[in-house]
Amino acid sequence: MKSRILIIGACGQIGTELTIALRNRFGADKVVASDIREGNEELMSEGHFELLDATDFAAVEDVIFRYKIDTVYLMAAMLSAIAERFPAKAWHLNMTTLFHILNLAKDKKVKKVFWPSSIAVFGETTPSENTPQLTVMEPSTVYGISKQTGERWCEYYHKKYGVDVRSIRYPGLISYTTEPGGGTTDYAVDIYHRALKHGNYRCFLQEGTVLPMMYMEDAIRATINIMDAPKKDVKIRSSYNLGGVSFAPEDVAQSIQKVIPAFEIEYEPDFRQAIADSWPGSIDDSEARKDWGWEHKFDLDAITKIMLDNLKLQYS
Ligand code: SER
């Protein structure tokens, strides 16, 4: 019987923690981690690991066949800031991998798919406070366009071919295990590293730039919860809004100053400011709460404490 899980992009910021969470839950033998590059030691040694280029259909199909995979988490993607530098490459990676997995699900080679979307699907014309699930969506970044398009295809494959694909629009994610790779919200992770190493931070976003954010443990729980939910409860097959906390760089600075009073922040916005300005400040996630019981746990001060405590251990 097929019963294994494949994580594509397992060495990335989300993939690393998702792999560990799924191994803890289902047992190491049931989870296959894969990535185009090698990742941290623990991830590679404590269970199945495959080097995999997810744009290569035959290679993906082979792993799915060999390990008897029935569920895929497709976490490989090029994030917002990097994608602006390599638009064609980002489009190719973000879309080709999704089509490969959707087509394998359509052909019944896998049963269930998780694919992450993002707050980047929204744009300047979207209402920015408490952004509703259904609203104007005119993304202005390559990454946002790829995620919005992906959402349309997920819903299409569900309605047309019955593919069981589930998705969440992640906000900016904060974690200490693996660093983020080229997003606009990365400052909210970098700032903790710099606070401990140098006592100061030069932020690439301007004061007052409020963005929706979330601690990784909340994001992982949301991911596992939506995948656990009975099929009939997952009513939205594009992607669910997901809210956690909302803050601006100066709010993180103040939160850090409660622990490290001498910490200083200065602002030097770059091209990422325009990306951040096009995204909402806060998210209405009532559909996720209603349909599959979503609830966030961590507020900013709790996140700050966890980040500083754990990074301190890593640096010492
Ligand atoms: N964290 C992502 C980024 O900044 C948003 O999904 O690109």
Atom of ligand 1 nearest to the CA of 80: 7
Lookup result for tokens 């993906």: 60
185 vs 241: CA distance, rounded Å: 17
**What's the burial of 133, exposed, middle or buried (CB within 10 Å: 0-12/13-18/19+)?**
middle
In angstroms, what is the span from residue 146 Cα to ligand 1's centroid?
12
pLDDT for the residue 3? 85
Q: Which residues line ligand 1 (CB under 6 A)?
A: 79-80, 118-120, 143, 170, 172, 183-185
CATH value of 173-213+244-282+298-315 in 3.30.43.10, 2.40.70.10, 3.90.25.10, 3.40.120.10: 3.90.25.10
Predicted TM-score (pTM) of the model is 0.97
Is 5-170+216-237's fold the same as 173-213+244-282+298-315's?
no
144 vs 231: CA distance, rounded Å: 27
Annotated catalytic residue: which of 143, 176, 192, 240?
A: 143
Ligand 1 atom 3 nearest Cα:
183
Atom of ligand 1 nearest to the CA of 143: 7
In angstroms, what is the span from residue 241 Cα to ligand 1's centroid?
14
7 vs 237: CA distance, rounded Å: 20
In angstroms, what is the span from residue 77 Cα to ligand 1's centroid?
10
Q: Where are the domains of the chain?
A: 5-170+216-237, 173-213+244-282+298-315
Give the burial string for 241-251 (b: 16+ CB within 10 Å, else e).
bbbbbbbbbbb
In angstroms, what is the span from residue 53 Cα to ligand 1's centroid?
22
Bridge partners, residue 212, by sequence: 246
Atom of ligand 1 nearest to the CA of 83: 7
pLDDT for the residue 1? 62
CA distances 184 to 79, 180, 265, Å, are 8, 10, 17
Q: Are 174 and 213 in contact (CB under 8 A)?
A: yes
Ligand 1 atom 6 nearest Cα:
118
Q: Are 218 and 230 in contact (CB under 8 A)?
A: no
Ligand 1 atom 1 nearest Cα:
172
Q: Could you tell me which CATH class the domain 5-170+216-237 is placed in?
A: alpha beta
Strand order in the sheet with 117-118: 117-118, 168-170, 240-241
pLDDT for the residue 16? 96
Ligand 1 pocket test, pick from 78, 118, 141 with the greatest ligand atom count within 8 Å of Cβ, gives: 118
55 vs 63: CA distance, rounded Å: 13
In angstroms, what is the span from residue 290 Cα to ligand 1's centroid?
25
pLDDT for the residue 2? 66
Question: Which pLDDT tens digits describe the chain residue by residue (316 residues)?
Answer: 668 999 999 999 999 999 999 999 999 999 999 999 998 888 999 999 999 999 999 999 999 999 999 999 999 999 999 999 999 999 999 999 999 999 999 999 999 999 999 999 999 999 999 999 999 999 999 999 999 999 999 999 999 999 999 999 999 999 999 988 899 999 999 999 999 999 999 999 999 999 999 999 999 999 999 999 999 999 999 999 999 899 999 999 999 999 999 999 999 999 999 999 999 999 999 999 999 999 999 999 999 999 999 999 999 8
Does residue 143 carry a catalytic annotation? yes
